[in-house]
Amino acid sequence: MKKELDREGKALRDGGSFGAQEVDLSVIIPHYDSADTLDRLLGTIPQRENLQVIVVDDRSSEAEREKLRALSEKYPHAEFCSNDRERKGAGTCRNIGIERAKGKWLVFADADDYFLPGMYDVLSASFGSSSDIVFFVPESVKLPSGTPGDRHKMFETAVMMYIEDPSFANYIRMKSSIGNTTPVAKMIRASLVRKHRIRYSEILQANDVMFWTKAGYHAGSASAVPEHIYCITDSDGSMTHDMTWENYRIRINEHIRVCRFCVKHYPPEELRYVHAVSINNVAGVLTRGFGVRRAMSVYRKYRKYRVPLFTEETIKLMLFRRGFFRGGHGKRKGSFPRDGV
């Protein structure tokens, strides 16, 4: 069943019918003016009857929509639709994808990244998990050089700390997600998202932070699988690099909102392991060249809402990332407590 893209781009194609086949997994991909890298990403997702692929275009240019039409023919198993809502952004597109998803599990991907070989086998091995969220280990690469990147490091730290030592503290560090809120390399139960009405913030920056903070809080259990399934790309032209002060302020305001959520909802014995501190964003003002005066303004704003600059936990995470307290953490088979603590 096909529907061609109209002039407003409201619908590209509905995708094929799943019939009586249950859908285990829905992969949701927001897209904007990056059809070439989307082609690469779709090429790393196998076609399976129990796997739904949803691409939500964020009102790309006409030239890009022409490319999307071609991709809809190249990947007939994928569903292509467009953001026809008032607000633009990846958060809005992901929310549209959530509403269209038929899978028991949800996985999110970005159009400029790609999955690693064998990802479906790794994901499908956890379809029967009793966890609400399953964490995997990501990688990152710098483009166009192809050298290893560091955008995955904070996420990797939280997951590997738990894999190497599945203690209560490391479980909360990983599950809370406040330090590793990137939407990728995780599989979340769709029923959890619907039950608690968890949605992405429809803002231009940090739209994923509150989603994964709330998901981690509401998750009855979480587990980690020490397998690499996803590669995050890091290019000079990305929004991460081309950051304006106005966009950085959006990021800061969202992070403060998340920290206040954590303080309000987490009990003290768990809150101490939640990375609700301001040091990264205060330091980011300086490293991005926004100036000392703005850095002090951001610091005072965090203090107004009683968000600390750093804690003892912050230091432990920094030391772990630099190799302290670390045993060997090569890939190990199996997964770690699927029922959480």
Q: For each of the domains in the chain, give its residue range(s) and CATH number, in order of start.
A: 1-112 (3.90.550.10)
List Cα–Cα distances, 244 to 62, 72, 247, 251, 292, in angstroms.
Answer: 26, 34, 5, 11, 16
Burial class (CB in 10 A: 0-12, 13-18, 19+), 337: middle
Q: What is the pLDDT along the chain (341 residues), one digit of tens a residue?
A: 333 343 334 445 455 444 557 999 999 999 999 999 999 999 999 999 999 999 999 999 999 999 999 999 999 999 999 999 999 999 999 999 999 999 999 999 999 999 999 999 999 999 999 999 999 999 999 998 989 998 888 888 889 989 999 999 999 989 987 656 689 999 999 999 999 999 999 999 999 999 999 999 999 999 999 999 999 998 765 555 578 999 999 999 999 999 999 999 999 999 888 878 888 899 999 999 999 999 999 999 999 998 999 887 777 766 766 665 544 333 333 333 323 33
What pLDDT is stored for residue 157 in this prediction?
85
What pLDDT is stored for residue 339 in this prediction?
34
At residue 246, φ and ψ (nearest 5 deg) are -60, -40
What pLDDT is stored for residue 158 in this prediction?
87
List, as one string, the DSSP characters of 95-107. HHHHHH---SEEE
User: Which of 307, 305, 306, 325 is CA-nearest to residue 316?
Assistant: 325
SS3 314: helix
List Cα–Cα distances, 165 to 159, 173, 210, in angstroms.
Answer: 10, 12, 26
